[in-house]
A and B are shown apart, each in its own frame.
Chain A
Amino acid sequence: MEVVDYIIVGSGCTGAMAAATLCANGKQVVILDTGIEGNPTETNTNDFIKKRYHDQQQADFFLGKNLEALQAPTHANIPQQTAQRSFITKLTDTLLPIESTHFFPVESLALGGLGNGWGLGAYTFSANELKRVGLNEKEILNAYKLIADRIGISGETNDDASRFCHNNTIPLQPPLEINATANSLYQQYQKKKPLFSAKHISMGKPSLALLSADKDNRKSYAYNDLDFYSNEGNSAYRPNITIETLTHQGKLVYRKNWLVISFKEADYYTIVYCLNIVTKEKKEFFTKKLILAASTLSTARIILRSFNSDIKLPVLCNAYTYMPLLHWPHLGKQNIGRHCGLAQLAMFYDRFNNHEEVAMASIYNYRSLLNFRISKQLPLNYADGNKLLQLLMPALCIAGIFHPAAYQPQNFIRLHKADSITGDLLQAAYTYLGAEQENIHHTEKIYASAFSKLQCLVLKKMSTPTGASIHYAGTLPFSSKDELFHISPDGKLYGTNHVFIADGSGFSYLPGKGLTLTLMANAHNVALKTMQYE
């Protein structure tokens, strides 16, 4: 029987960061993961425009060899998924079944987890936000610096959004160039800044885990606009980069095809029960310390099974609103230049001016997902619709607004016995009611008004199905009291001796902005603290 020092469950952003920290401290680490990998389409060029004009095989690339991009979406909350990214959610319907009428969380069993589809927004939380989340400000600030240095973050140090993006607390590479349409929006904002300030709205460049300068073996971003299809030069940080580097260096053992079902603690070690998703073999692994970083919902599954409990656990999820915008001064502008498909601008609405209940909007320019996804939604015939879109696309922006989320009594998850591969399924309920719903509507109105001041016509307000933000947390809240189904400030699961949680399960509040950097910082801190238990 081999008992390893550490087993980490999951290879997403949190698993990768916990592994990196432990390996850097010379620990013996094994990652257990289902580890589904993509099958990238071979391509002649990595440039969107060159591909469009010259690549005869581009249909395979953009539409998928089996026309996946034209088929009904595999998940309600990822309608724009590309064929190259379909592996992210592969097998989740059978291995991670969910029963819900109105909550559609996106989960992943891929190597790198949901980090493969991360929009790369890397934002720090303010002192007020961290307090409500339940994290120690000083420890997290130190971790932010380390993670930023580890993954590489580009951003502006001196614009109105800086204090919301990072407050100049982390090392940054120079900001990336923004697209012409985004630049025009930003100029409008600069002209009307007093109007926005009066409404507690700030706008600037986002901080992104996307390199503007070479780092280690990774290349700076080349503005080729294939961000939803490939990761040229690994300019975008994805967790698989860390996993592959550590494995290659011989510091980490990565074991794929293993779905962790549950665990049981013995005297000096923990038994981890797993199912091989290919052979269906059941196997036990043994570890001195177990770190669960399987993502909030999957971690809850493992814990509920391990405690054989059908208790209701709370859950948090940011509400998410899409607003397609038409920046009319850019109708019919040339759109074959350098371009980036990721967030171009970040806008923050700080309602109470205390950086506690901020709702953030990320603004994107739409191009590389192609026109066909939009033309089918227009109330127009395809022939005229295509001609219209040719004029419209350079002016089309999409704003995605995250609303903050606090615990509400009607929202929960619970594990049921059921006829599935794992013998159960997750029942989930999530709705936005009362004051929370009013706050969402208020924020949407404020943003719609702000966008019109930027010379944008708001084409539609789309309140997405719950779960669309792909931000989930809070199932096992942090607590200083030793109580079951809670996590200690050190990340240890109460009721266990050597089981730690490194994902967002403990977060007791979800600020309305990107949480990935904070998740990674917390995972690093949890990994550090596990070493103090030796």
Chain B
Amino acid sequence: MTQLQTEASLFAQYLGAEKKDTQLQERYISGIELLNIKTSNKELAILNMLVKFPFLLPYIDGGFALLKVENSIRKKIGLMSALLETEPAFTALFLVEKDLSFAAIRFLYRGSIALLKSIIGAALIYLLKWR
């Protein structure tokens, strides 16, 4: 597996898709070329770390988002997210098909957990000097 295929699998799984969706991997690789996303050595080291410890990904992704760090990792996850959003198989992850009960409570709960992950991630980024 190439580096880009490995990343594609990692991000696809993280965002709720099949890890081994080869068509999605191809679109991801082609997207990286079209958008000319370059990865620095430091970012590559972070990515390799995330491949080894994928449970860290939501924290680091959230940390970068909270700190407003412009880097290729966020761009790459954003690309995969947009590709999934425009795949019929994943439409239900983005639209609401019927009214959801306790939506406000779910919203607050999900939002709080996500924000907490971002704060932990930001602390990790500082500690590991990944900024």
Give me the interface of A with B, judged by CB distance under 8 Å.
Answer: 49, 52-56, 58-59, 62-63, 66-67, 69-71, 328, 331-336, 370-372, 375-376, 378-394
* B65 touching A381, Cβ below 8 Å: yes
* B65 touching A379, Cβ below 8 Å: yes
* B110 touching A370, Cβ below 8 Å: no
Per the bound structure, the CA–CA distance linking A385 and B94 in Å amounts to: 11
Contact partner, B118, options A63, A381, A387, Cβ 8 Å: A381
- CB-CB under 8 A from B121, the residues of chain A are 381
Contact partner, B96, options A328, A381, A390, Cβ 8 Å: A390
Per the bound structure, the CA–CA distance linking A328 and B31 in Å amounts to: 36
Q: Flag B105-119 by CB within 8 Å of A: 1 or 0 each.
A: 011001101110110
- CB-CB under 8 A from B95, the residues of chain A are 49, 52, 335-336, 390, 393
State whether A386 and B81 are in contact (beta carbons under 8 Å apart), knowing that A58-B86, A380-B115 are contacts in the complex.
Answer: yes
Per the bound structure, the CA–CA distance linking A378 and B74 in Å amounts to: 12
* B114 touching A385, Cβ below 8 Å: yes
* B107 touching A382, Cβ below 8 Å: no
11 more contacts with CB within 8 A, not counting A328-B104, A332-B106, A382-B77, are A58-B87, A332-B104, A334-B97, A335-B96, A380-B111, A383-B15, A384-B110, A385-B114, A387-B93, A391-B96, A393-B94
State whether A391 and B106 are in contact (beta carbons under 8 Å apart), knowing that A334-B97, A334-B99, A384-B62 are contacts in the complex.
Answer: yes
B contact patch SS: helix
* B111 touching A388, Cβ below 8 Å: yes
- Among residues of A, the one whose C-beta sits closest to the C-beta of B64 is A381
A contact patch SS: helix
- Among residues of B, the one whose C-beta sits closest to the C-beta of A62 is B86
- Among residues of B, the one whose C-beta sits closest to the C-beta of A370 is B85
Interface size class of B (residues with CB under 8 A): 35 or more
The 9 closest A-B pairs by CB, nearest first: A332-B103, A384-B114, A381-B62, A332-B100, A381-B61, A59-B86, A372-B82, A331-B103, A380-B114
Per the bound structure, the CA–CA distance linking A336 and B95 in Å amounts to: 7
- CB-CB under 8 A from B59, the residues of chain A are 381
* A391 touching B99, Cβ below 8 Å: no
* B107 touching A381, Cβ below 8 Å: no
- CB-CB under 8 A from B82, the residues of chain A are 63, 69-70, 370, 372
Q: Flag B42-59 by CB within 8 Å of A: 1 or 0 each.
A: 000000000000000111
State whether A376 and B78 are in contact (beta carbons under 8 Å apart), knowing that A63-B86, A384-B117 are contacts in the complex.
Answer: yes
- CB-CB under 8 A from A390, the residues of chain B are 93-96
Per the bound structure, the CA–CA distance linking A63 and B28 in Å amounts to: 13
State whether A386 and B15 are in contact (beta carbons under 8 Å apart), knowing that A332-B106, A379-B118, A381-B114 are contacts in the complex.
Answer: yes
* B96 touching A67, Cβ below 8 Å: no
Per the bound structure, the CA–CA distance linking A63 and B62 in Å amounts to: 24
* B96 touching A334, Cβ below 8 Å: yes
Contact partner, B107, options A70, A332, A378, A383, Cβ 8 Å: A332
